[in-house]
Chains A and B, each alone.
Chain A
Amino acid sequence: QVEQSPQSLIILEGKNCTLQCNYTVSPFSNLRWYKQDTGRGPVSLTIMTFSENTKSNGRYTATLDADTKQSSLHITASQLSDSASYICVVSAGSNYQLIWGAGTKLIIKP
């Protein structure tokens, strides 16, 4: 119900990249992006409700189109420490259940 693309991505340090998330769950409450380093727990990057189109957190900018049920996470001027899995999570339903995407594995090369 939450699909992310690409599954993996390799870019050079300093370059920008955009990760995609499409969801079909409803009723939609909010959408979250998490960063998960290998062998660690996820860390929240952004949380957006259906009325928000964009939200930034430093070099991370998330966008949301609730009409097309699409979200993206844009990373600017990538750093080696950005290497991680980025997971899109949609909160839906009357009990705000979290539906987790499979994540995009991002590798930043020097």
Chain B
Amino acid sequence: GAVVSQHPSWVICKSGTSVKIECRSLDFQATTMFWYRQFPKQSLMLMATSNEGSKATYEQGVEKDKFLINHASLTLSTLTVTSAHPEDSSFYICSARDPSIAGGYLQTQYFGPGTRLLVL
């Protein structure tokens, strides 16, 4: 299946600093990528939908000025957590759809391995 990578796999930062997480589709071009957040023992929560060449669509309750998303190319989307606080500590996961695979809305989302963020 398709491969999606994330970098870094884990990061520790001080409160008030910004952290950038990269999501790459390695063997396909993804016009749409998704960013999720997962707290311990909870399921994934969609934060935003990232569309190549246009502004991201954020879910209700997600601050777009705090979680900056850039999808500058068909293989790369970045999530920047600005002015991070301890409550931002979480597991951040991205996913991507391969538009070349038929199936429309049934398309499988390929998930990255996740990035664990710890804000001290």
- What is the interface residue range for chain B against chain A? 20 to 34
Number of A-B residue pairs with CB-CB distance less than 8 Å in the complex they form: 41
Q: Which of B44, B45, B116 contacts A42 (CB 8 A)?
A: B44
Q: Is the Cβ of A100 less than 8 Å from the Cβ of B45?
A: yes
Main secondary structure of the interface of B (DSSP, over half): strand
Q: Is the Cβ of B43 less than 8 Å from the Cβ of A103?
A: yes
List of B residues within 8 angstroms of A101 by Cβ: 43
Main secondary structure of the interface of A (DSSP, over half): strand
Q: Is the Cβ of A40 less than 8 Å from the Cβ of B113?
A: yes
Closest-CB distance, A36 to chain B (whole angstroms): 8
Q: Is the Cβ of B106 less than 8 Å from the Cβ of A44?
A: no
Chain B residues near A (Cβ < 8 Å): 4, 6, 42-46, 91, 93, 95, 105-106, 108-114, 116
6 additional A-B pairs beyond A40-B113, A44-B108, A100-B43, beta carbons within 8 Å, are A41-B113, A41-B114, A42-B93, A44-B110, A98-B46, A100-B44
List 5 tightest A-B contacts by C-beta distance, closest first. Answer: A41-B111, A100-B43, A96-B105, A44-B108, A102-B43
